[in-house]
Structure 1
Amino acid sequence: MRHGSSGQGLKPSRLSPRDILRVGAVGLRARRARVVLSALGIAIGIATMVAVVGLSESSRADLMARLDRLGTNLLTAEAGEDSTGQRVKLPKNAAAMVERIGPVQRATATADVDARIRRSDLVPEERTAGVTTQAARTDLLATLGGEVARGSWLTPAGEHLPTAVLGAVAADRLGITRTGETIMMNDTRVVVVGILEPLELFPTLDRVAMVGFPAAERYFGFDGHPTTIFERSTDASVEDVRAVLARTISPGNEAQVKVSRPSDALAAKAATDEGLTALMLGLGAVALLVGGVGVANTMVISVLERRQEIGLRRSLGATRNAIRLQFLTESLLLSGLGGAVGALLGTAATHGFARVQGWTAVVPPWSLAGALAATLVIGVVAGLYPAIRASRLRPTVALSAP
């Protein structure tokens, strides 16, 4: 260093950004166990937040894919109750009336049938296994977009015969594993011709045995009035059809017809998932805050332990700003280390869980960018006070510290 003519003493030294990073890294390497424990708190918080966002987005993407596959253009109209609490009867030709609505592409119907189901005639009548009977039209499966797991669906010829198609849950409850087996409906022996795959939009149909409308009238005293109407229309006209559906089915008594959109249940599930995601993000933020406190604590202790080092550097010409930058850099490196590890753990957890669930893993780039931003903020906030405290130590006091 050069002395000035007026006795200025040594000129303050200046560190390059590379030197600052190197000095900060040396401080971390000297206390590895403490660094690992402090970074772990940051890592847990970041991993939780990235995993929560990733799993939420993966679940939502899977849900949207299911909605696209099942369709959001399906409406149902069910018979409601009159002023006395009795269930009203929909017109027998309700499905045909709905088909006359311009944008409607398909319309079909089901109806409740008073027929108790038993596995065999050796089983008491009161033991129905929780399976009910419904009449169904032959175009029901095509309208709902359902599939047959085993056997076949009702045919124009078979709907007149004592044959039935079981929902997935109904088959399990009755112990039916293959077609051709028989069950008892009241006192009539009925042949099972098909077993359905689960119907995601209509889980209630998974628990029923379905027979044709003509067979229900012939064998079980069914009066021919449908209970539920299903219709599919063009996507753009769903709300328009919804507005006139009840009035079309039962003119003058539309208040007694309940119209719903089955896909709304899946959409509501997505909204529920969003609320749960917000809660889990809050928990992740708490973990991140705890990690930040751990970083601050580590940096304060580091300042106390390194007072002699700080005094020596100040005596050799290091400026207060250089000391502040050194400890702030240590804090940023410490939180950045935890954030990077947390982002990797969160991404790995998302991919692992999504694979188990059969989802396509989705980790939004903004969640990783947000994790990086959060770690930088935590690093600055946690390291600011220790850095300022270190820069204010007087060289003589620091050097005389035990």
Structure 2
Amino acid sequence: MTRTDAATTPLASRVRGVDLLATATLGLRTRRLRAVLSGLGIAIGIAAIVAVAGVTRSSQAALLAQIDRLGTNLLTVSSGTGFGGSERELPAEATRMLRQVDGVLAVAPTAQLTTENVYRNQLVLEGQTGGLAVRAADPSLLVTLDGHVRQGRFLDAATAVYPVTVLGHEAATTLGITRVDPGTRVWLGGHWFTVAGILEAIPFAPEVDRSALIGFPVARSMFGYAGHPSRIYVRAQQERVTEVSALLRLTTNPMNPDRVDLTRPSDALTARVAVAQSSAVLFLGLGAIALLVAGIGIGNIMVISVLERRAEIGLRRALGATRGHVGGQFLAESLVLGAFGGTAGVLIGCAITAALARSRGWTMQIPVEALWGGPLVAVLVGGIAGLYPAFRAARLAPAETLRTG
């Protein structure tokens, strides 16, 4: 090729990435409200997904930590419930027999006094119990359940013979008792009982949380307790839980072992983990639907943008821009919208998770996959939504766009 031929040969049109980004964001910068509203749809979908993933992970971590702390070796022995939800009696010798089972570390009997109720004072109408129960127990209960006293003290050999009660966490809340002092009393079974302590919540024993606990001696002397427990808590050696479980029914009631109910409270928390996982799938599906709707919205906005900027497209084509440059401009614009929405969605989702975790006392945990996967999915949705508008813009004829623009 001669020098003259080279001078007359047109140069191929080129566009740098920086220039493409600046051109692609021109429409977003000039129509900021539209851009924010378009990106908001993506942000809501991503925020929902990140928040669900974060809240689910945080709650599961809290539940698993609770299970690890309280152990899975606690077993509960009962005989079901009778009329009105009251617990049925177990044999009087059940506690002594269970303590002789090899592999049992601790046994704590309790007995629900079905004919007695607890009230804040004697002015409360009979029958308005608030779902609370009166339960006889001994000092071994707190150790067996690995419970803790929030205020005051627990029952001991001295207080068990007097009208003294210890309130479960929920019982204290229902009765409106927030502190323990020498003058704090409740109306229990037609008598005044001094409140010696308030327990922390015991996740593995919600029935204790809803009870006013008194000693077995005072239950006998004041309420005629006959010595039959209604619920017994058994702490077994961790490696022998299965072996111990197989012996408890027959040991508790040799005559009618089929009438004995045996449960492991930790199974309830484990089930809650599974429920949280299944619920998360539902909410993730709703987040995916939100993303789909947001993608359709972006596609609609980009089609409108192409129609509004026909003159700009024609001028750029007349000045040498190729179809690829024009299509790339609009595709890049939809990608930027997706990236903007995805980043905002991750931030919103993290904020929601942090707020909820703080209110529940959880340690905030967000899957790493959600942090990088959220923006990636958002960009992907934006790119798919922008394919048709970009193709349509690239197919516009320069002469027609200049004449009709």
- Give me the TM-score of the superposition, normalised by structure 1: 0.86
Deviations 1:263-297 (A, max 9, x none): 22223333333333233223322222222122111
Unaligned runs of 5+ in 1: none
Please show how residues 183-202 of structure 1 align to structure 2 within 5 Å: 183=186, 185-186=188-189, 190-202=193-205
Aligned residues of 2:338 and 2:380 also touching (Cα < 8 A): no
Any idea what SS the aligned residue of 2:275 has? Answer: helix
Matched residue, 2:154: 153
CA distance in 2, matches of 1:156, 1:230: 19
Aligned residues of 1:75 and 1:231 also touching (Cα < 8 A): yes
Alignment of 1:144 onto 2:145: yes
Alignment of 1:59 onto 2:59: yes
- Offset of 1:29 from its aligned partner? 2.2
Deviations 1:291-342 (A, max 9, x none): 2122111211222222233233333433322322222111101111111122
Matched residue, 1:381: 384
Matched residue, 2:345: 342
Judged with a 3 Å threshold, the aligned counterparts in structure 2 of structure 1 residues 284 and 122 are, in CA distance, closer, same or farther, namely: closer
Judged with a 3 Å threshold, the aligned counterparts in structure 2 of structure 1 residues 44 and 192 are, in CA distance, closer, same or farther, namely: closer
Judged with a 3 Å threshold, the aligned counterparts in structure 2 of structure 1 residues 354 and 188 are, in CA distance, closer, same or farther, namely: closer
Judged with a 3 Å threshold, the aligned counterparts in structure 2 of structure 1 residues 175 and 295 are, in CA distance, closer, same or farther, namely: closer
Judged with a 3 Å threshold, the aligned counterparts in structure 2 of structure 1 residues 20 and 114 are, in CA distance, closer, same or farther, namely: closer
Matched residue, 2:231: 228
- Partner AA of 1:195 in structure 2: I
- Partner AA of 2:168 in structure 1: G
- Offset of 1:119 from its aligned partner? 5.5
Matched residue, 2:18: 18
- Offset of 1:382 from its aligned partner? 0.6
Judged with a 3 Å threshold, the aligned counterparts in structure 2 of structure 1 residues 35 and 258 are, in CA distance, closer, same or farther, namely: same
CA distance in 2, matches of 1:288, 1:20: 26
CA distance in 2, matches of 1:304, 1:175: 67
Give aligned pairs, total. Answer: 399
Judged with a 3 Å threshold, the aligned counterparts in structure 2 of structure 1 residues 23 and 223 are, in CA distance, closer, same or farther, namely: same
Alignment of 1:399 onto 2:402: yes
Please show how residues 115-154 of structure 1 align to structure 2 within 5 Å: 115-117=115-117, 126=126, 129-130=129-130, 131-154=132-155
- Partner AA of 2:282 in structure 1: L
2:362 pairs, out of 359, 362, 366, with: 359
Query: Identical aligned pairs, as a percentage?
Result: 43
Deviations 1:241-278 (A, max 9, x none): 33332223223522111111222222333333333323
Deviates more, 1:233-242 or 1:56-65: 233-242
Deviations 1:369-401 (A, max 9, x none): 221121121111111001111111222223322
- Partner AA of 1:44 in structure 2: I
- Give me the TM-score of the superposition, normalised by structure 2: 0.86
CA RMSD of aligned residues (A): 3.2
Unaligned runs of 5+ in 2: none
Aligned residues of 2:81 and 2:88 also touching (Cα < 8 A): yes
- Offset of 1:3 from its aligned partner? 10
Deviations 1:49-75 (A, max 9, x none): 222222222222222233233333211
Aligned residues of 1:113 and 1:133 also touching (Cα < 8 A): yes
Alignment of 1:178 onto 2:180: yes
Judged with a 3 Å threshold, the aligned counterparts in structure 2 of structure 1 residues 13 and 174 are, in CA distance, closer, same or farther, namely: closer
CA distance in 1, matches of 2:267, 2:236: 16
Judged with a 3 Å threshold, the aligned counterparts in structure 2 of structure 1 residues 271 and 373 are, in CA distance, closer, same or farther, namely: same
Matched residue, 1:113: 113
- Offset of 1:18 from its aligned partner? 3.3
- Partner AA of 1:42 in structure 2: I
Alignment of 1:264 onto 2:274: no
CA distance in 2, matches of 1:122, 1:29: 71
- Offset of 1:363 from its aligned partner? 2.0
- Offset of 1:143 from its aligned partner? 0.7
Alignment of 1:242 onto 2:245: yes
Matched residue, 1:372: 375
- Partner AA of 1:152 in structure 2: R
Deviates more, 1:167-176 or 1:359-368: 167-176
Any idea what SS the aligned residue of 2:362 has? Answer: coil
Any idea what SS the aligned residue of 1:343 has? Answer: helix
Aligned residues of 2:54 and 2:367 also touching (Cα < 8 A): yes
Judged with a 3 Å threshold, the aligned counterparts in structure 2 of structure 1 residues 372 and 169 are, in CA distance, closer, same or farther, namely: closer
CA distance in 1, matches of 2:349, 2:193: 54
CA distance in 1, matches of 2:371, 2:124: 61
- Offset of 1:208 from its aligned partner? 2.3
- Partner AA of 1:354 in structure 2: A
Judged with a 3 Å threshold, the aligned counterparts in structure 2 of structure 1 residues 23 and 110 are, in CA distance, closer, same or farther, namely: same
